Structure 1
Amino acid sequence: MSDCVLFSELPTACGQVIARATLNAPKALNALGLDMIQALDRQLDEWEQRDDIVALWLDGAGEKAFCAGGDIVQMHKSMVKHAGEGRNPFTEQYFAEEYALDYRLHRSRIPVVVYGDGIVMGGGMGLLQGADFRLVTPRSRMAMPEITIGLFPDVGGSWFLNRLPGKAGLFLGLTGVHLNGREAVEIGLADRMVEDDADALLASLAGQRFSSEPRDNKAVLYRQFKEQAADMEALPHPLIEHLPLINVLCDGENLQVVVEQLLSATERDSWLDRALGNLEKGCPQTAHLVWEQLERSTYLSLAEVFRMEWCLAVQCSLHGDFREGVRALLIDKDGKPGFRHRSVADVPRSYIDGFFRCPAPEHPLAKLGRESVA
Structure 2
Amino acid sequence: MTELTRLNSADAAVVFETATTDNGRLIGFATLNAPKSLNALNFEMISLLEPQLQQWGKDDNIALVVLKGAGEKAFCAGGDVVSLHKAMSEGKPSSLVEEFFTQEYQLDYLIHCYNKPILVWGNGIVMGGGLGLMAGASHRVVTETSRIAMPEQTIGLYPDVGGSYFLHKMPAHVGLFLGLTSASINCEDAKLVSLADHFINADKYPELVEALLNTKWGKTASLNHDKLSNLLIELDNNSSRMPKGNLKANLSLIQKLGDFDTLQQQVDYILNLTTDDKWLQRAQKSLAHGCPLSCALVSEQLKHSKGKNLADCFKMELGMSVRAGEVGEFQEGVRALLIDKDGTPQWQFKTLANVPSEVVESFFANRFGEQHPLEPYFSQLNLQG
CA RMSD, 1 decimal? 1.5
Give the 3-state SS of the residue equivalent to 2:120 in structure 1. Answer: strand
How far apart, in 1, do the equivalents of 2:232 and 2:261 lie?
A: 42
1:280 pairs with 2:288: yes
Matches within 5 A, 1:241-280: 241-280=249-288
Consecutive unaligned residues in structure 1, runs of 5 or more? none
How far apart, in 1, do the equivalents of 2:353 and 2:345 lie?
A: 18
Larger deviation, residues 193-202 vs 287-296: 193-202
1:200 pairs with 2:210: no
Task: Give 1:368 shift.
Answer: 4.7
Give the 3-state SS of the residue equivalent to 1:179 in structure 2. Answer: coil
How far apart, in 2, do the equivalents of 1:353 and 1:268 lie?
A: 37
Instruction: Tell me what 2:5 maps to.
Output: none
Task: Give 1:352 shift.
Answer: 0.1
Instruction: Tell me what 1:305 maps to.
Output: 313
1:226 pairs with 2:221: no
How far apart, in 2, do the equivalents of 1:69 and 1:170 lie?
A: 19
Which digits, 9 at most, give the CA deviation of each residue in 1:324-351, with x for residues without a partner?
Answer: 0011111111100001111111112111
Matched positions, count: 371
Instruction: Tell me what 1:373 maps to.
Output: 383
How far apart, in 1, do the equivalents of 2:347 and 2:308 lie?
A: 30
| Contact preservation (8 Å) 1:141, 1:179 | yes
**Which one of the candidate residues 4, 7, 12 is aligned to 2:16?**
7
Task: Give 1:369 shift.
Answer: 3.7
Which digits, 9 at most, give the CA deviation of each residue in 1:269-316, with x for residues without a partner?
Answer: 322111011111100000011001111111111000000000111111
Larger deviation, residues 201-210 vs 119-128: 201-210
Task: Give 1:239 shift.
Answer: 1.4
**Which one of the candidate residues 48, 52, 60 is aligned to 2:69?**
60
Task: Give 1:237 shift.
Answer: 1.4
1:118 pairs with 2:124: yes
| Contact preservation (8 Å) 1:32, 1:71 | yes
Task: Give 1:370 shift.
Answer: 2.8
Paired residue type of 2:157: L
1:210 pairs with 2:217: yes
How far apart, in 2, do the equivalents of 1:368 and 1:296 lie?
A: 23
Give the structure-1-normalised TM-score: 0.96
Instruction: Tell me what 1:96 maps to.
Output: 102
Paired residue type of 2:118: V
**Which one of the candidate residues 30, 34, 44 is aligned to 2:43?**
34
Instruction: Tell me what 1:235 maps to.
Output: 243
Larger deviation, residues 359-368 vs 285-294: 359-368
Matches within 5 A, 1:271-350: 271-350=279-358
Give the 3-state SS of the residue equivalent to 1:228 in structure 2. Answer: helix
Which digits, 9 at most, give the CA deviation of each residue in 1:235-293, with x for residues without a partner?
Answer: 12111100111101353222112111111223453221110111111000000110011
| Contact preservation (8 Å) 2:119, 2:140 | yes
Matches within 5 A, 1:129-144: 129-144=135-150
Paired residue type of 2:281: D
Give the 3-state SS of the residue equivalent to 2:58 in structure 1. Answer: coil
Give the structure-2-normalised TM-score: 0.93
